[in-house]
């Protein structure tokens, strides 16, 4: 497999309590875990990770259900793709690699996994950066017609009776490319070599089923977990950096810092010259912001 990562990145498969997680590791220094979003893989970080590896140990993974990680069969209760289960995978990966405390950076779905990880493992997560998202519960709690039209895939992918799986499965490459092309852009474009890898991985019917289960969990069990945390007054305790694309739906539609301050104690961040795919559209800006944030963590 040819991938746009430098030779210094070492690939390995980590057993996360029976779930095989694909990981790439490089660099030395304080550890940082980078998590991707939908419908991508760890390669969304291919322009950011090498620079961060100059002074950090960088761990890139494919979330369960994505990339070359295992794809457990979805379950009726939506627990297999709950962010709690996906976050636990990542905690076990970092422990297996020898890291008891680490920072987390997540784009899109990876940011939601990172949010849950910071809540469930506050002693392990030293800092959290979330890219181009507001919290899931906040998004579902502030619906309007623009959200429905721009984020219709949240509802389509969460639909039951095998409908999205059958429709996407008829032409997964078309769906992936059309979905990514529909996102507002404000910076550079994605590397075609990386996109081909996204297509290769997403073409697996198990990946389509897993990604639909991911969104079903977000609309059900994830909201239950988030509601319990809200009722208990639990918020992210570590420093949180929010970055978003100035041209993205998130950047145009929300006051991102206000949203996150309902869910975290210490929040800062800003818009970058990008659309939704911040790490690919604005890699230099993203790297600079992350370096500054990571350097200040305990």
Residue 132 falls in the annotated catalytic set: no
Residue 276 falls in the annotated catalytic set: yes
Dist CA 4 CA 25 (whole Å):
14
Dihedral angle over CA of 258, 298, 123, 137, nearest 10: 10
DSSP states of 124-148 as a string? Answer: TEEEEEEES---HHHHHHS--HHHH
The single residue of 62, 68, 108, 222 carrying the catalytic annotation is 108
The CA-atom distances, in angstroms, between 226 and each of 14, 200, 201, 231, 261 are 28, 33, 30, 9, 15
Phi and psi angles of residue 60, each rounded to the nearest 5 degrees, phi first? -105, 135
DSSP states of 275-296 as a string? Answer: SS-HHHHSHHHHHHHHHHHHHT
Dist CA 26 CA 10 (whole Å):
6
Who's near 265: CB < 8 A, 6+ residues apart? 235, 236, 237
The single residue of 36, 80, 107, 276 carrying the catalytic annotation is 276
Catalytically active residues are 108, 276
């Amino acid at each position: 497999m040819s991938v746009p990562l430098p030779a210094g990145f070492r690939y390995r498969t980590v057993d996360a309590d029976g779930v095989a997680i694909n990981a790439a590791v490089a660099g030395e220094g304080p550890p940082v875990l980078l998590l991707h979003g939908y419908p991508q893989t760890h390669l969304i970080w291919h322009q950011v990770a090498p620079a961060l590896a100059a002074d950090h140990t960088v761990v890139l993974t494919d979330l369960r259900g994505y990339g070359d990680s295992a794809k457990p069969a979805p379950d009726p209760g939506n627990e297999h793709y709950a962010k709690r289960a996906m976050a636990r995978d990542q905690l076990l990966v970092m422990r297996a690699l020898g890291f008891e405390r680490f920072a987390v950076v997540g784009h899109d779905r990876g940011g939601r996994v990172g949010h849950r990880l910071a809540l469930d493992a506050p002693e392990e997560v030293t800092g959290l950066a979330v890219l181009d998202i507001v919290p899931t519960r906040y998004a579902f709690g502030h619906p309007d017609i623009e959200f429905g039209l721009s984020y219709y895939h949240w509802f389509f992918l969460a639909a039951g009776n095998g409908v999205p799986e059958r429709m996407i499965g008829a032409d997964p490459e078309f769906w992936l490319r059309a979905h990514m092309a529909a996102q507002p852009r404000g910076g550079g474009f994605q590397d075609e070599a990386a996109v081909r890898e996204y297509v290769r991985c997403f073409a697996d019917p198990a990946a389509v089923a897993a990604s639909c289960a991911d969104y079903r969990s977000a609309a059900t069990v994830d909201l239950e977990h988030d509601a319990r945390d809200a009722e208990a007054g639990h918020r992210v305790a570590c420093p949180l950096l929010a970055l978003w694309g100035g041209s993205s739906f998130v950047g145009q539609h929300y006051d991102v810092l206000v949203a996150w301050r309902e869910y975290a104690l210490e929040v800062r961040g800003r818009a970058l010259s990008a659309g939704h795919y911040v790490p690919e559209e604005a890699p230099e800006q993203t790297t600079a912001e992350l370096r500054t944030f990571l350097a200040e963590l305990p």
